[in-house]
Amino acid sequence: MNSNNQNMETAIHTHSDMHRDDTASKLGMWLFIFTEILLFGGLFIVYSVYRYMNPVAFHLAHEELSITMGLINTIILLISSATVAMSITAIQKGDKRLSLYMVGATILLALVFLINKYFEWGSKFEHGMYPGSDLMDMLSNGDMLFFSLYFFMTGLHGVHIIVGMVLLAVSWFKIKKDAVRSDKYALLENSGLYWHLVDLIWIFLFPLFYLIH
């Protein structure tokens, strides 16, 4: 979000001794990540409350989800976290080529995640299961809450995946143009931090929706 602020030379008022502060950019990103955790935190509370109120319905409803699909996506995101970490190490060591490959691989994995998600959601839609559908209206309260939360939370997570992809894509182009390099990589590091957050949220979503007993 605020990661490319070191780019002060483009500021309208060119402050004479305005210097780059990578620590500040990183601090800003961490603060933003706190807000993201709280954003999902609200949803986790709602989930807990409704699961407490409808334990049986939530248990039965979760069996409609495919653990395999969820597992594949979990593995994809875990690998992507590793590749983005590698891209940062690579740029720190001055290996531009490797860094580009690794950011590229992360974006690719994110895309595979979304495609997987598309098929997963798609199969629900085919069965007439989507927010606002007639089938949803016919479900019991507990079932409906489970699937509503499922669509809402994985949907919001999907939006975050897309934001993360955009950040990584910007980083990719900046690496290519040497605007991100071994002595100036705060943007890539912040995109990486954001990507780990997106990952982390999924690590909680996966057991809550796919693995509950």
Partner 1 sequence: MENNHLPNYLEYRGKRTGLLGWLTTTDHKRIGLLYFYSMMTFFLTGAVLGILMRLELIAPGRQLVDAQTYNAFFTLHGLAMIFLFVIPGVGAVFGNFMLPIMLGAKDVAFPKVNLLSWYLYVLGAIIVLTSQFMGDGPPDTGWTFYAPYSLKTQTNVVAAVFGAFVLGFSSILTGLNFITTMHRMRAPGMGWKRMPMFAWTLYATGWIQLLATPIVGITLLMLAAERLLGIGFFDPAIGGDPILFQHLFWTYSHPAVYIMILPAMGVISEIIPTFSRKPLFGYTALIVSSMAIAFVGYFVWGHHMFTSGMSEGARWVFSFLSFIVAIPSAIKVFNWTATLYKGAINLQTPFWWAMAFIFVFMIGGFSGLVVGSLATDIHVHDTYFVVAHFHYIVFGGTGFAFFAAMHYWWPKIYGRMYNTKIANIGLLIFFTGFNMLYFPMFILGLMGMPRRYYDYLPQFQDGNVISTIGSWIMISGLIIIITNLIRAKKQTGKIVDNPWNGPTLEWSIQSPPTLENFEELPVVTHGPYEFK
CA dist 17 to 9, 22, 25, 26, Å?
A: 11, 16, 17, 21
Please report, in angstroms and rounded to a whole number, the separation of the first and last CA atoms in the chain.
38
Name the minimum Å distance from CB 71 to partner 1. 26
Is residue 158 close enough to count as binding partner 1 by CB under 8 A?
Answer: no
| Cβ 205 vs Cβ 153: under 8 Å | yes
**x-or-dash string of contact with partner 1, 9-38, rule CB under 8 A:** --xxx-xxxx--x-xx--xx--xx-xxx-x
CA dist 181 to 163, 169, 173, 193, Å?
A: 22, 15, 11, 17
DSSP at 98: H
Whichever of 137 and 183 has its CB closer to partner 1, that residue is 137
Site stretch for partner 1 (CB under 8 A), options 7-15, 61-69, 72-80, 182-190: 7-15
Contact pick of 104, 148, 184, 204 for partner 1 (by CB under 8 A)? 148
Taking the C-alpha atoms of residue 98 and residue 48, their distance in angstroms, rounded to an integer, is: 43
Is residue 46 close enough to count as binding partner 1 by CB under 8 A?
Answer: yes
| Cβ 191 vs Cβ 153: under 8 Å | no
Number of DSSP helices (H) and strands (E) in the chain, helices first: 7, 0
Whichever of 14 and 68 has its CB closer to partner 1, that residue is 14
Size of the site for partner 1 (CB under 8 A): 46
Q: Which tokens sit at 25?
A: 């950019």
Give the distance, in angstroms, between the CA of residue 171 and the centroid of all CA atoms in the same chain: 16
Site stretch for partner 1 (CB under 8 A), options 47-55, 95-103, 162-170, 204-212: 47-55
Name the minimum Å distance from CB 132 to partner 1. 4
Name the minimum Å distance from CB 1 to partner 1. 7
Residues near partner 1 (CB under 8 A) are 1-2, 5, 8, 11-13, 15-18, 21, 23-24, 27-28, 31-32, 34-36, 38-43, 45-46, 49-50, 53-54, 131-132, 136-137, 140-142, 144-145, 148, 151-152, 156
